[in-house]
Amino acid sequence: MKLKSTLIVLSLIAAPAFASDQVVSKTREQVRAELAQAQQSGDMLAFGESGLTLKQINPGAYPVATSTQVGKSREQVRDELEQAIRTGDIMVAGEFGVKRNELMSGRYPIVTGKSLKTRDQVKSELARAIREGEVVAVGEDGRKLNEIYPDRYHAAQHAAMATTSDESSKAPRLQ
């Protein structure tokens, strides 16, 4: 009896997997054409355990794929490099992961266009994020607190929506 019920359960579990498998079969001619094209272009795996294609092992034996992407001229690249060196918008050597103008800000001109926030603005944004649960919780899944505990932050979200709707109703209307 247990064997019969186990087989029924397993067949019910496996049924969606077989039902969703919609493989389109190819004709013999299509397979042969794909094989011939892969042999000509070197896209076949080489023998052995390297996992490389024939083109990767012997690139001179196969035609080079043409690129339709338009590149930059040598002068354009030089101009971009000179500007990056001049403004410090170039990565520092090593494993720092920062640009020169970030590491040595006194040597380079101040970059305009970045909107800086005041301390009070940052504090108010942080307080709102904590109040509404828009803070990433501790753990590896990357969920926010309001996603993990929706019942705790449900009222805070409704209160925030109510205050924004009150502010919009108080705003003067153009006629």
Per-residue pLDDT of 109-119, as tens digits, reads: 776 655 678 88
Q: Is the pLDDT of residue 66 over 60?
A: yes
18, part of any domain: no
Q: What is the pLDDT of residue 165?
A: 58
Domain boundary residue, one of 85, 107, 129: 107
Q: What is the spatial distance between Cα 28 and Cα 37, in angstroms, rounded to a whole number?
A: 14
Which residue's structure tokens are 């409704």?
Answer: 158
Residues 163 and 135 in one domain: yes
- Asked if 138 and 163 touch (Cβ cutoff 8 Å), the reply is no
- Domain of 79 in residue numbering reads as 74-107
Residue-wise pLDDT for 143-161, tens only, equals 888 888 888 887 656 665 6
Q: What are phi and psi of 99, to 5 degrees?
A: -90, 160
CB atoms within 10 A of CB 100: 19
pTM of the model: 0.29
Domains: count for the chain: 3
User: Is 92 buried (19+), middle (13-18) or exposed (0-12) by CB count in 10 A?
Assistant: middle
Residues 125 and 159 in one domain: yes
Residue-wise pLDDT for 78-118, tens only, equals 999 999 888 888 888 777 778 888 888 888 877 665 567 88
Q: What are phi and psi of 96, to 5 degrees?
A: -70, -45
